[in-house]
Amino acid sequence: MPMKKAYLDNASTTAMNPLVINEMVQVMSGNYGNPSSTHSIGRQAKVVLETARKTIASLINAEAREIIFTSGGTEANNLILHSTVKDLGIRRIISSRVEHHSVLNTLPRLAEQFGIRTDYVNLLPGGQPDLKHLEALLQEEVPTLVSLIHVNNETGTVLNLLQTGTLCRQYKALFHTDTVQSVGKTEFDLRNLPVDFIVASAHKFHGPKGVGFIYITKTIGLKPMLYGGEQEKGLRGGTEPIHQIAGMAKALELAYGNLNEHRQHITALKEYLHEQLTINFPGFKINGEAPGEELFYNLTNVLLPLPEDKTAMILFSLDMQGVEVSRGSACQSGSVKPSHVLKEILSPDAIKKPSLRISFSHYNTKEDVDLLIEALKKV
């Protein structure tokens, strides 16, 4: 009998929805044109491209002209940080120590290259940025970009975008938020939200890897982010991969079409997991949990009451039993170094203990949770 498997690492990536694969195959087989060509197959490709743009924009209540396609979240975050400094006169970026590496590792490079200043906002006990400190930092009159993650990919803490964006507007700072973990999983009403840039990556919502987008309100003054042709309003040259883009639009449509149902299913699974942990591992803790903190519904990061010497091998041991979870972000899962996010919120003793990030999708079932619990008991 094949080994039972449980994939519980959906914050790293998700399984593609078969309907998305169908959509992509149709575009790949029937639509090989270059959307910049003026002949009919090119024009057909252009229709696919622009239809996808309109679909995506309408799902997040934005305008089609505000959507720029990229190769994913890393590129999107890099482009925004670079462009705002290079072209919009930003001299300071306020960010936090719990950002994804595509933001965190870009900041020192920008400081080196352009001499900008980076300020890091203080964190509250759960890892949430302290908005009072943000406001204090914003008092200084220097052209500023605030870049703060919306849903933290390791702990699921949620930034209040309305409150943060309103502060940024009040102090005339631009606001970028890394929404890679939240687009497709929670509603966005961008026409009424004070944010300047958000980003998305299709593989986080059952779409293909290697494609994402930037929502951008401030294009005036922006120079090409990638030099090349006139694609994407001249901001990002390169022939658009229309099969990927059409796949992303389909994935987002499916995600938002079934959002409430999926959210309910996943929320129930997460509650079931916490119940099972309470029974089998009393004393476990939810990393990021703090008074007044709202944690996102699809992931939980738990510190297990197991001996420290289990930390190094826990993932391997679970994997051998068919359970796929992670310790933190996937880009680091091969690393034995403790997560940079947990380092900010846990004590030096707690960080040595085994913590696991368990992240769900609507494909998961209670059996997956049972398999995880049984596997953990054997660790």
- Give the position of tokens 């004590």: 347
Which residue pairs, CB below 8 angstroms and at least 24 apart, start in 231-239? 231/35, 231/36, 232/68, 232/69, 233/65, 233/68, 235/68, 236/68, 236/69, 236/70, 236/79, 239/34, 239/35, 239/36
User: Catalytic one among 16, 19, 226, 331?
Assistant: 331
**Applying CB under 6 A, which part among 140-148, 174-182, 228-236, 336-344 lies near ligand PLP?**
174-182
Shortest distance (Å) from residue 348 CB to ligand PLP: 25
Q: Taking CB under 6 A as the rule, does residue 102 contact ligand PLP?
A: yes
Q: Which residues pair with 9 in a beta bridge?
A: 359
Among 128, 144, 201, 321, binds ligand PLP (CB under 6 A): 201
Name the closest residue to ligand PLP (Cβ).
73
Q: Closest CB to ligand PLP among 9 and 23?
A: 9
Residues 130, 124: Cα–Cα separation, whole Å: 6
Q: Taking CB under 6 A as the rule, does residue 181 contact ligand PLP?
A: yes
Q: Taking CB under 6 A as the rule, does residue 212 contact ligand PLP?
A: yes
Q: Which of residues 69-88 bind ligand PLP (CB under 6 A)?
A: 72-74, 77
3-class DSSP state of 213:
strand
DSSP single-letter state for residue 306:
S
CA distances from 232 to 219, 229, 235, 237 (A): 11, 9, 6, 7
Our answer to whether residue 168 is catalytic in this structure is no
User: Considering only CA atoms, which of 96, 129, 125 is closest in space to residue 285?
Assistant: 125
Shortest distance (Å) from residue 149 CB to ligand PLP: 6
Q: H-helix or E-strand containing 121? A: none
Q: Taking CB under 6 A as the rule, does residue 154 contact ligand PLP?
A: no
Q: Determine the size of the site formed for ligand PLP (CB under 6 A).
A: 15
Q: Taking CB under 6 A as the rule, does residue 178 contact ligand PLP?
A: yes
Contacting positions for ligand PLP (CB under 6 A): 72-74, 77, 100, 102, 149, 153, 178, 180-181, 201, 212, 329-330
Q: Which residues are catalytic?
A: 331
